[in-house]
Structure 1
Amino acid sequence: MTAKTLILDYSWSGTTAKMATALQAVTGADKLDLTVASGTFGDTMNATADIANEQRSAGDFPTLTTSLPNLNDYQTLLIGGPVWSGKVSTPIRTLLNQLGDFSGVVAPFYTDAGTPGGYEDEFESRLTKAQFVPGIGMTAGDLRHADEQLVGWWRLFKIN
């Protein structure tokens, strides 16, 4: 099997989607945008944060409406999402729960308002068999210079 990379991203506001598109340009990877049912989250970030906190408390994470390909066809998964209250967004938690027996390499990329909190620690703790590689986070302002940062991260990623 040829080493293949898949970018999977969930974006509530469009910021993570911009980062995913820039990452695809750098890596040449396949890309899949993750979605949840319309109305799952609120119209504002505060309302969305409240809903996500309720989902976390109940352990009831949203269903992804995107059909996933056979992830075992890929060696590397780059998984992107927003940081919500210093944590992994609940749609990405759903995805991480679905990785199951995937034993390839997984790295997060994420967007935040300047406080990623324990995002990478939580992300890594959700993996059962996959090999975790430290990711990269950016703010919306960082996206103006995303290409050079992503190229640097991807080079380090490919060396390890």
Structure 2
Amino acid sequence: MRHVLSVLVNDQPRVLARVTTLLGPRNFNIESISVGESEVEGLSRMVIVTHGDEWAMEQVQKQLYKLVDVIKVNDLSDHPAVERELLLIKVGAGPTTRMEISGVVEPFRASVVDVGPNSMMVQATGERAKLDVLIELLRPYGIKEIARTGVTALSRSMAHASV
């Protein structure tokens, strides 16, 4: 089962390394990890996507709490949450295909952020599955480079839980 863990940690050097070192030896594959500032000064939020059953996730959370810099662990899989990822993708695009590519990316609310003589760079945000579809639609144009941020997520507020 897929789990999205939101981990509030002290903003200190090597915290990310300690967290990943904790998960690796226990055979938890990190599908995605993103780290950034949180709403509290001095604390960062890590969003980790991994797979495991309920017992395994309970063990992961217990191990995370043993780290001094871990303040709070929340399994967002237990609650309605909003997940997003950022994708930058550079595709082959000459003058004759630019309009066609623009038509492909428009329904995804993506935008062209760079144009070169033989390429275009597109920026898109959304759920992972949506971005995967966009990549497949752009593949025939020749993908030159892809960069993805990994999932970032927050639990929904109670007023929006049913949305």
TM-score, with length taken from structure 1:
0.27
- Specify the structure having the higher radius of gyration (Cα): 2
Higher strand share: 2
Which gives a bigger RCO, structure 1 or 2 (Cα 8 Å, sep 6+)?
A: 2
Higher helix share: 1
